[in-house]
Chain A
């Protein structure tokens, strides 16, 4: 399943981490191994390039004493493996961790302190990564998600969390409305329509609505009330189809 790649220039620490991981994999009975353990970031990039269909869990040292540091390495990895899990290893509290999270979607960071806390943290990260991967594969296989391109990153939105898509007054700028908030991105309604589940219905030139999240429909005002009390509209010519869809 998810194999492991380690990149750390201090050979003693690298061995230590490698052993902890191997031990954990056996204990948790995970079906993976440490595919690569090196001090050279270029090895990592080459390996990932060759195996670009696979996703890995990466343990990367932030301060690699090379031309390529940990973050740059992570960036290159992301070009080939957008779904892998990146965990940074650092010697002190990482003040720029949120930046790493946003830039390369890093999972977590581990401080090189005593062996026991190192071990605990590694175990924690491995478990989180595995659970997420299984969840993700399930969702992708069940077509429960839709990838949305935000320019600098692609996020898989859970189709079950989206209330509706809306066009904005700017050409080709669409807005997703979810329980949590609103997100703008570039896209065409037509392209989205083909990628969503059959629960979604185009109620209006400007709205693509998740019919499972509708609370009520006002036929005369042509308004739709969503579960969270947000409102959107239905055009007169689509109202019949919408009601039919909702009653199924």
Chain B
């Protein structure tokens, strides 16, 4: 009876360890409910594998498979779930190896002693649990870089390298363990040291690979953004030239008008003066006044990629006959937010505004940038139709007005902000058929 309860506890501790490691290193938040279900399943399976079927060498592959399947269903991202499950096993192996190292070399236990003493075996499991907790917490910063956000970009070659190397590492470690276990029933200390050493090398390799993948992914994204920036700035320059040409034409017309007016005034021809004013002058000036000066306001944005992006969005909106009102009165030189992130966020918000305004009869968009000491606020208001869903629905998982899986949507925008920034706030509201977005960045 006592034996069985120790066994049960042992399997439970094992399952708990895996659960804790995964919970700590996953960059997608896992609810307590999901992790408890996972721990229960692993516990049951491990117990039966170890104590009934006595095939504990199958533990690692079967646990990995269970983990991958379960979390693929929860995360809805198969690749990320599989990789993170394998990394969990690797960290577990590392804790196991380090615990063994400490016990055998520092505390001078004997290997056979441990293998035969039930209680000792069990306490070691607890130590491994504690060590796994700390290791996974510290390694969190390394594995957070395997951000699932970047995973969605199709950098196939790099993903392939990472995808192949991680299971390879696990496979090598696993075969190492099996070899040691079955080749020598009384392993001597030298072999144990080599074992531990190799495991540590594998883990270091793992960290290096994930980090270099992350750097590459980031670089590629930056490259794409730089290319877009050049195109957008070209468009911006073109719009400025158009505005400048319009001004030149206006000067020309203005001189003509003054001459004509002068003529009528000198000849004191009031009737023709009145006619001229009503029929020629007013319509022409209305046309001039209606011409947009909003591009010149963009000069206040001293960040080129942002300027290009916003200019491009304005051009798109105008091409769809949406009225745009822009107010930027102060220079924006510096924002305490990553360049890629701010461009993404503003890009998404603007796209949403344009799509919503198109559906309205007289759609309009108001875009303001306001600076208050160290706080920069971007405000985007757009007209929207009455059947616009309420704000909370738009932020729900898997919501998209464009059908499934198109665009990154507001939920991802919120995730980008919440995951990375404590100084950025996004307020969304709908008031009187106007959809309002207010993005505040504290410098």
Task: List the A side residues contacting B392 at CB < 8 Å.
Answer: 177, 182, 228, 230
Are the C-beta atoms of B329 and A99 separated by less than 8 Å? yes
Q: How far is the CA of A150 from the CA of B390 in the complex (A)?
A: 22
Q: Is A178 at the interface (CB under 8 A from chain B)?
A: yes
Q: How far is the CA of A150 from the CA of B366 in the complex (A)?
A: 21
Chain B, residue nearest A231 (CB): B392
Are the C-beta atoms of A171 and B430 separated by less than 8 Å? no
Contact with A along B414-443 (1 / 0, CB 8 A): 000011011001111111000010001010
Number of A-B contacts (CB under 8 A): 72
Task: List the A side residues contacting B422 at CB < 8 Å.
Answer: 170-171, 173
Q: How far is the CA of A99 from the CA of B126 in the complex (A)?
A: 61
Are the C-beta atoms of A152 and B327 separated by less than 8 Å? no
Contacts A98-B325, A152-B375; A170 near B418 (Cβ below 8 A):
yes
Q: How far is the CA of A98 from the CA of B392 in the complex (A)?
A: 26
Contacts A98-B368, A102-B368, A170-B422; A182 near B329 (Cβ below 8 A):
no
Task: List the A side residues contacting B379 at CB < 8 Å.
Answer: 98, 102
Q: Is B225 at the interface (CB under 8 A from chain A)?
A: no
Task: List the A side residues contacting B190 at CB < 8 Å.
Answer: none
Q: How far is the CA of A36 from the CA of B221 in the complex (A)?
A: 59
The smallest beta-carbon distance between A111 and chain B, in angstroms, is 15
Q: How far is the CA of A77 from the CA of B391 in the complex (A)?
A: 35
Chain B, residue nearest A71 (CB): B329
Contacts A98-B368, A99-B368, A169-B29; A181 near B418 (Cβ below 8 A):
no
Contact with A along B366-393 (1 / 0, CB 8 A): 1010101101010100000000001110
Contacts A102-B379, A150-B425; A182 near B440 (Cβ below 8 A):
no
Chain B, residue nearest A177 (CB): B392
Q: Is B395 at the interface (CB under 8 A from chain A)?
A: yes
Q: How far is the CA of A152 from the CA of B366 in the complex (A)?
A: 20
Q: How far is the CA of A152 from the CA of B443 in the complex (A)?
A: 12
Contacts A102-B377, A152-B375, A152-B377; A184 near B329 (Cβ below 8 A):
no
Q: How far is the CA of A230 from the CA of B366 in the complex (A)?
A: 28
Contacts A151-B375, A152-B375; A178 near B429 (Cβ below 8 A):
yes
Q: How far is the CA of A181 from the CA of B432 in the complex (A)?
A: 12
Q: Is A180 at the interface (CB under 8 A from chain B)?
A: yes
Q: How far is the CA of A171 from the CA of B419 in the complex (A)?
A: 11
The smallest beta-carbon distance between B182 and chain A, in angstroms, is 46
Q: How far is the CA of A99 from the CA of B368 in the complex (A)?
A: 7
Q: How many residues of B are counted as interface, with CB atoms below 8 angstroms from the partner's CB atoms?
A: 30
Task: List the B side residues contacting A171 at CB < 8 Å.
Answer: 422
Q: How far is the CA of A58 from the CA of B429 in the complex (A)?
A: 29
Q: How far is the CA of A150 from the CA of B377 in the complex (A)?
A: 11
Contact of B436 among A99, A173, A181, A229 (CB under 8 A): A181
Q: How far is the CA of A173 from the CA of B29 in the complex (A)?
A: 17
Q: How far is the CA of A189 from the CA of B395 in the complex (A)?
A: 22
Task: List the B side residues contacting A181 at CB < 8 Å.
Answer: 391, 427-431, 436
Contacts A98-B366, A169-B29, A170-B418; A180 near B430 (Cβ below 8 A):
yes
- Counting chain A CB atoms within 10 Å of each CB, which of B366, B377, B391 scores highest? B391
Task: List the A side residues contacting B430 at CB < 8 Å.
Answer: 180-181
Contacts A102-B377, A169-B29, A169-B418; A182 near B370 (Cβ below 8 A):
no
Q: Is A185 at the interface (CB under 8 A from chain B)?
A: yes
Contacts A103-B372, A150-B440, A170-B422; A182 near B327 (Cβ below 8 A):
no
The smallest beta-carbon distance between B343 and chain A, in angstroms, is 21
Known contacts A150-B440, A152-B377, A173-B418; 11 further A-B pairs (Cβ under 8 A): A98-B366, A98-B379, A99-B327, A102-B377, A103-B372, A150-B427, A151-B375, A180-B430, A181-B436, A182-B391, A182-B395
Chain A residues within 8 Å of B, Cβ to Cβ: 95-96, 98-99, 102-103, 150-152, 168-171, 173, 177-185, 228-230
**Selected A-B contacts with CB under 8 Å, 5 pairs:** A103-B372, A177-B392, A181-B428, A182-B428, A228-B390
